Chains A and B, each alone.
Chain A
Amino acid sequence: MKVIDFFLISLSKFLAFTIHLFHLGSGETWPGHFASEISPGLLSRLESQLPRGSILITGTNGKTTTALVLRSILTAAGFSVSSNHSGANLLNGITSRLILDTDLPGRLKTQIGVFEVDEANLPLALKSYRPEIVVLLNLSRDQLDRYGEVDLTLFRWQTAFLDRNPPTILIYNEDDSTLSAWLENIRHRLSAFGVKIIPFGCSLPTDYGAPSLIGDFNSLNVHAAVTAALALPVTPETIRQALIGIKPAFGRGEILSFNGHPVQIFLAKNPASFNGNLALIKSLETLGNKRTLLMALNDNIPDGRDISWIYDILFEQHLDWLSEARLIVSGRRANDLALRLKYVGVLSANLMIVPEIKAALNLSIKELRPKETLFVLPTYSAMLAVREVTTGQAIGD
């Protein structure tokens, strides 16, 4: 560590405290951004203080949940963990978290890092430091206006893995055809670097399950986290114990209460996550099998400005139960979503368009029968808005 780092760490903590105090945000991105600008390499110097190193989790969908599961397992195993759990998954989020986890003299208090990292930022992360383990969950089309094509992401990953700091262990989902085909090409070169490659996937047997994390995509997330924990190693018994108590991450199947009704939020930010969540909601028992669904589509920067992808959601496969359901569409692009549903075959009489999210929530709640759950499918910024209305608090408050 450089002398300036200790000074910067104190200043950044003060910055985070101020941001938090005045409700200017969660304080989990700007301090890290500020400190890294002034002292490049700070992230690497902080990370190298972790005695057990760090684990990076990336992929299009499931990062937050996988990080949550792994963090819970490691905490149960007695580790003190640094983790960017508010979903601030760019490098400034990781740096901020490490800064906040230092003691007064500026030394790191934690032993191990569990960080989710945006798939476009993985190369930058690997350039900054060498993680012990990298977990690759999946890769599918998401926000092309921000990330570009999947092939481009794979190309950048390849360069990063082969030229920079490959992890000691690489854990990947062998059921994701995009990932496994890509890895097949560079496997021998990675092995030559001494990288240990461990597959996971639904086709591999597992007897680990987290009861509160429902849905097929979540069993994959759990499987990924368990694979990483076993590699550390954490004992199977500890892992099983930890999994029992895990609750969903914010906005990822999380159940909140609003005006006496359960509100279950399923972040639906691209075709893959939307399809997974529709299949999951269909499988859930409901009163009289008539569901109430609020779908909220925003096109802010964190959601991606282009909403063309809603035409790749497999709504047509769900027309039977969607036709029976009460549907409310909301968000900045509510009209587009309504139009999409019209071309699926949903009758406009079964569809309410309420662009403003708070008004849409209030109206949806009125539609519910006693004890009925409201299912919400929001894009990222819409999810934050829904949570803010239902909890009265912004993320990180």
Chain B
Amino acid sequence: MTYTLNLGYFYPELLNLYGDQGNIFCLKKRCEWRDISVTVNDYPLGAALPDRSAKSYPDLIFMGGGPDKSQLAVAANLSRIGHWLSDFVDLGGVGLFICGAYQLLGQYYQDADGGRLDGLGLFDLYTRHFGKDKKRCIGNVVVETDFLRDPTLNIRGKNTLVGFENHGGRTYLGPTAKPLGLVRHGFGNNGTDKTEGVIYKNAFGTYLHGPLLPKNPHFADHLISLALKRKYGEDIPLKPLDDKLEWQAHAAAEKLR
């Protein structure tokens, strides 16, 4: 049987500040290498969104980070797509939301002057910017997760995520929020409570920006597995790939300071 997946890439023209598209390249190739047929649909600002019964309805969506101006444009548009997005996530749709997108899916973003930008409220968290006198969170990050140790995702049982963060806002999780993981190195959500990112149903938010997935093939495969399971209603084992280069880059990144 040939499996097919629809990837929805949101606001590629606005939210591709740090090579975020690398995540799309990665998901697409890792499906193709397993003969899973993939269609990537771009959803730029203002694009019509397919309804649940449409053939192009996405199985997995991705939204990245952008410069402030673009994020404001996206935030202004969120009210339009908010209902669609909430519906998608609440029904178990698989999503990866990075940096700016991660913040916008929280309750609100409060800037240094106290101004509030309402988020979608899908994630139980809020973000505060303390002004330019407080240092940005910039640098290499290593995160320990408790959901990636599954040996079907990687024989070595690796549970770490490696990446780079660069954010001025600090994010605080609410009581019902489950973090993506805990930082071993780096700032994570706010630089104080060790948490990084969030998991809500099959949606993942993180500050590990740009091309997160190529160096974290177990996470990429986790997203693909979840999307297949949701679409076909059963666990579909993924064909193992030769990930020597991926793990080499992962191991090297774990040592970066």
Inside 8 A of B69's CB, which chain A residues have their CB? 151
Whether B249 lies near A336 (C-beta < 8 A) is yes
Is A339 in the interface zone, CB < 8 Å from B?
A: yes
- A303-338, CB under 8 A of B: which get 1 and which 0? 001111111100000000000000000000101101
Interface size on A, as a range, is 20 to 34
Min CB–CB distance A153 → chain B (angstroms): 11
Whether B67 lies near A306 (C-beta < 8 A) is no
Stretch at the interface among B37-45, B106-114, B208-216: B208-216
Is B49 in the interface zone, CB < 8 Å from A?
A: no
Is A350 in the interface zone, CB < 8 Å from B?
A: no
The residues in A between 331 and 360 inclusive whose CB is less than 8 angstroms from any CB of B are 333, 335-336, 338-340, 342-343, 348, 353
Give 14 A-B pairs besides A149-B17, A343-B25 with Cβ atoms closer than 8 angstroms.
Answer: A150-B67, A305-B164, A306-B138, A307-B164, A308-B19, A310-B211, A311-B20, A311-B21, A335-B249, A336-B252, A339-B249, A340-B22, A342-B245, A348-B245
Is B29 in the interface zone, CB < 8 Å from A?
A: yes
For the complex, what is the distance from the CA of A339 to the CA of B30, rounded to whole Å?
13
Min CB–CB distance B144 → chain A (angstroms): 21
For the complex, what is the distance from the CA of A26 to the CA of B253, rounded to whole Å?
32
For the complex, what is the distance from the CA of A133 to the CA of B134, rounded to whole Å?
36
Residue from B20, B140, B166, B209 whose CB has the most chain A CB atoms within 10 Å: B166
For the complex, what is the distance from the CA of A311 to the CA of B16, rounded to whole Å?
10
Nearest residue, chain A, Cβ from B168 = A148
For the complex, what is the distance from the CA of A336 to the CA of B21, rounded to whole Å?
15
Is A145 in the interface zone, CB < 8 Å from B?
A: yes
Q: Chain A's interface: helix, strand, loop or mixed, by majority?
A: helix
Is B246 in the interface zone, CB < 8 Å from A?
A: yes
Min CB–CB distance B245 → chain A (angstroms): 5
Is B26 in the interface zone, CB < 8 Å from A?
A: yes
Whether B249 lies near A338 (C-beta < 8 A) is yes
The residues in B between 120 and 147 inclusive whose CB is less than 8 angstroms from any CB of A are 138-140
Inside 8 A of A150's CB, which chain B residues have their CB? 67
Whether A339 lies near B210 (C-beta < 8 A) is no
Whether A305 lies near B140 (C-beta < 8 A) is yes
Min CB–CB distance B101 → chain A (angstroms): 15
- Select which of A149, A299, A333, A340 is within 8 A of B67 by beta carbon: A149
- A289-310, CB under 8 A of B: which get 1 and which 0? 0000000000100000111111
Nearest residue, chain A, Cβ from B210 = A308
Is A141 in the interface zone, CB < 8 Å from B?
A: yes
Whether A335 lies near B248 (C-beta < 8 A) is yes
Whether A308 lies near B252 (C-beta < 8 A) is no
For the complex, what is the distance from the CA of A340 to the CA of B19, rounded to whole Å?
11
- Select which of B18, B67, B139 is within 8 A of A308 by beta carbon: B18
User: Interface of A with B (CB < 8 Å)?
Assistant: 141, 144-145, 149-151, 299, 305-312, 333, 335-336, 338-340, 342-343, 348, 353
Min CB–CB distance B111 → chain A (angstroms): 15
Nearest residue, chain B, Cβ from A146 = B138
Q: A151-B68, A312-B19, A342-B245 are in contact. Are A305 and B211 (CB under 8 A)?
A: no
Whether B68 lies near A149 (C-beta < 8 A) is yes
Min CB–CB distance A350 → chain B (angstroms): 13
- B158-179, CB under 8 A of A: which get 1 and which 0? 0000001010000000000000
For the complex, what is the distance from the CA of A307 to the CA of B211, rounded to whole Å?
9
Whether B245 lies near A305 (C-beta < 8 A) is no
Residue from A309, A338, A353 whose CB has the most chain B CB atoms within 10 Å: A309
Inside 8 A of B252's CB, which chain A residues have their CB? 333, 335-336
Nearest residue, chain B, Cβ from A344 = B25
The 16 sampled A-B contact pairs (Cβ below 8 Å) are: A144-B18, A145-B164, A145-B166, A305-B164, A306-B18, A308-B209, A309-B19, A309-B210, A311-B21, A311-B211, A333-B252, A336-B249, A338-B248, A340-B22, A340-B214, A342-B245
Residue from A307, A311, A312 whose CB has the most chain B CB atoms within 10 Å: A311
State the total of A-B contacts with C-beta under 8 angstroms.
78
Min CB–CB distance A374 → chain B (angstroms): 24
Q: A145-B138, A335-B249, A338-B245 are in contact. Are A343 and B18 (CB under 8 A)?
A: no
B: number of interface residues (CB 8 Å): 30
Nearest first, the 5 A-B pairs at minimum CB distance are A311-B19, A308-B210, A311-B22, A308-B18, A335-B249
For the complex, what is the distance from the CA of A145 to the CA of B136, rounded to whole Å?
9
For the complex, what is the distance from the CA of A335 to the CA of B22, rounded to whole Å?
15
For the complex, what is the distance from the CA of A306 to the CA of B207, rounded to whole Å?
14
Nearest residue, chain A, Cβ from B25 = A343
Whether A308 lies near B138 (C-beta < 8 A) is no
Min CB–CB distance A341 → chain B (angstroms): 9
Q: A308-B18, A308-B22 are in contact. Are A339 and B214 (CB under 8 A)?
A: yes
Inside 8 A of A299's CB, which chain B residues have their CB? 256
Inside 8 A of A339's CB, which chain B residues have their CB? 214-215, 245-246, 248-249
The residues in B between 185 and 238 inclusive whose CB is less than 8 angstroms from any CB of A are 209-211, 214-215
Min CB–CB distance B208 → chain A (angstroms): 10
For the complex, what is the distance from the CA of A309 to the CA of B20, rounded to whole Å?
9
Nearest residue, chain A, Cβ from B209 = A308
Min CB–CB distance B41 → chain A (angstroms): 19
Inside 8 A of B256's CB, which chain A residues have their CB? 299
Whether A343 lies near B29 (C-beta < 8 A) is yes
For the complex, what is the distance from the CA of A106 to the CA of B128, rounded to whole Å?
53
Residue from A151, A310, A342 whose CB has the most chain B CB atoms within 10 Å: A342
Nearest residue, chain B, Cβ from A333 = B252
Nearest residue, chain B, Cβ from A306 = B164
Inside 8 A of A305's CB, which chain B residues have their CB? 138-140, 164
Min CB–CB distance B158 → chain A (angstroms): 15
Whether B17 lies near A141 (C-beta < 8 A) is yes
Inside 8 A of B20's CB, which chain A residues have their CB? 311
Inside 8 A of B68's CB, which chain A residues have their CB? 149, 151
Inside 8 A of B211's CB, which chain A residues have their CB? 308, 310-311, 340
Whether A343 lies near B214 (C-beta < 8 A) is yes
Inside 8 A of B139's CB, which chain A residues have their CB? 145, 305
For the complex, what is the distance from the CA of A309 to the CA of B17, rounded to whole Å?
8
